[in-house]
Amino acid sequence: MIPIKTPQEIEIMAQAGQVLAKIMRELKARIEPGITTRKLDKLAQELILNYQVKPAFKGYRGFPAVLCVAINEQVVHGAPLNRKLIPGDILSLDLGIIKQGFYSDMAFTAPVGPIDPEAGRLIRVTKKALKRGMARVKPNKTIGDIGQAIQRYVEDQGFQVVRSLCGHGIGRKLHEQPEVPNFGQRHKGPELKPGMVLALEPMVTMGQPGVKKGPDGFCYQTNDNSLSAHFEHTVLVTNKDSRILTK
């Protein structure tokens, strides 16, 4: 069953989303050659403490940090390390927080210094794919409508969507029903209704869409070592269309 949030619950989730967006903006400003992802994780911990919220990921299924990181061929869920970022890297950061018992989730991919033009295009396409998916978040649309919009745009641009990982409902739990794949068919799947809150998160690869677990036991990376990008927002279905809570 897909939870429907009350107006009071939506207000808490909106407040959580605003805090998360501020934290992510501050993290993005610190991305530069020479910094380590462990340093970014430490900064995320400090910001979470300052904003008086709780980390959503630390301890989740044994995850050791508050911030999920992914560099280049890594897709999602990597643990922060002492590896220094270098010019040409692309870095994905994924962060979740808890405020008054409700979760919020957000991710973005950013360049580290000058990057290859095709890597830059991958980032732009993934970001726009999320925008295309969010445009389908409205009453009477379906989960399949969201996935189809994302998949069609990404594939038209010559890239691929990861099929074995997906977005999700979110609220009192980090992962609620329904699953939100980044592929699908129009008019298929659960119907969207006001009060549903979804975490949409296109994961896009420059090469083939297959992924495997990385050596840290948490990260997923592309099978063919091609670059990957990832964007995510927490989005509310309203009476007319949608509202981005992590904006």
Question: How is the chain split into domains, by residue range?
Answer: 7-244
Q: What is the mean pLDDT of residues 176-197?
A: 98
Order of strands, sheet of 211-213, starting from the edge strand that comes earlier in the sequence: 74-76, 220-222, 211-213
Mean pLDDT of the chain: 98
For residue 42, what pLDDT is reported? 98
d(CA 19, CA 15): 6
In whole angstroms, give the CA distance from residue 175 to residue 62. Answer: 16
Mean pLDDT of 87-108: 98
Architecture per CATH, domain 7-244, reads as Alpha-Beta Complex (3.90)
pLDDT (mean) for 113-119: 98
pLDDT at 87: 98
Q: Coil, strand or helix: which one is 225?
A: coil
Q: Tell me, what's the pLDDT at 235?
A: 98
Single-letter amino acid code for the residue at 193: K
Give the integer Cα–Cα distance in Å for 35 and 86: 8
The residue type found at 54 is K
Tokens standing for residue 219: 């990260």
Query: What pLDDT score does 176 carry?
Result: 98
Token pair, residue 66, equals 């508050």
DSSP SS3 for 179: strand
**4 contacts: CB under 8 Å, gap ≥ 6:** 193, 194, 195, 196
Mean pLDDT of 175-184: 98
What is the spatial distance between Cα 228 and Cα 126, in angstroms, rounded to a whole number? Answer: 9
